[in-house]
Structure 1
Amino acid sequence: MRVLGVDPGLTRCGVGVVEGRPGSPARLVAVGVIRTPADDEIGARLVAIERGLEKWLDETAPDAVAVERVFAQHNVRTVMGTAQSAAVAILCAARRGLPVALHTPSEVKAAVTGSGTADKKQVGTMVTRILRLDAMPKPADAADALALAICHVWRGGMQNRLATAATAAATARAGRSLR
């Protein structure tokens, strides 16, 4: 499975693509950051993020997109920008019919470090080890995007199989009750 991870943000939107499957080593495909100038108008910034994400989707052809779930912060302005950037990522994926998964920061941290309270340095260190990289991806937004993709590869596949099994079980139960 090839997954595009998106760490949403208006100034720096981290993007990273990882390939792998649960129980197997993950492989780096690409990593980077889509940047927009802080003094640009919000509409122009969102269009720049959309164009950047569309280019990443074209060039890397992922099977799924994993986006960090926006959570409440004290700075409402930061939350709004993050949410707007996340919405653009979801829209770009949905337009192509790609499945989108939202993962919480603690879920991602737990997937890559074993602790939902790990700090950014720990996440970056583990991403570097997991993907067998020579150096930690910089800035942290890029490492976070890779962590999202790794989390989805390792956990998303299981979640999808569980959902499929639950649907099949519900269908079978419904079929028995109709007889």
Structure 2
Amino acid sequence: IVIVETEGVEQSEIAVAGMTDMFLLLQLPNAGDDLQAIKKGVMEIADLIVINKVDIDPDAAMRAQLFITSSLRLLGFQGNPDHASHNQEYWHPQVMTLSALEGNGVPELWEKILHFQKLQNANGQLQSRRKQQAGAWMWDRIDAGLKNAFQNHPAVQALLPGLSAEVNQGTMAASVAARRLLEAMGHEFF
């Protein structure tokens, strides 16, 4: 098992979700991040949401669990995903509490992780997720390669400072500057 921790910035969390088999969102009971996480869309990619440090404030942890569970329902994360066959069991995002310090809930967390893995393997979702991730990685590499080739192209480097200045001064539309830079590279994209 490999655990990847992020600094809690939306882009890094989404990037990590795109390279892992399971995305576990760790929340604190009194952090006030519940609504923020929903706004950011992080809830949409979480497979399991764990509220840690329940030992500090059990009431706040319970409120957070209820709030997040209700929010998941509002976001539509219930029922049968992808209209899948009713003969197979599928994972639905869950919310649980635990105290890592006291060890309460840690065995239950591990059981949920194992159950998630079992279901993902049994219904083909793990292989599907990995194929989707591979395709996304390919396009990320293409995007990065094209951007690098564009930025390092001599004609683009020659025109970029002047066109950027015109866009910043409001004397040229961004779309016109972009078209000129792309044409300078020898491609017509617009």
Select the structure that is richer in strand: 1
TM-score by length of 2: 0.25
Higher normalized contact order (CA 8 Å, seq sep 6+, divided by chain length): 1
TM-score normalized by the length of structure 1: 0.27
Q: Which has the higher helix share?
A: 2
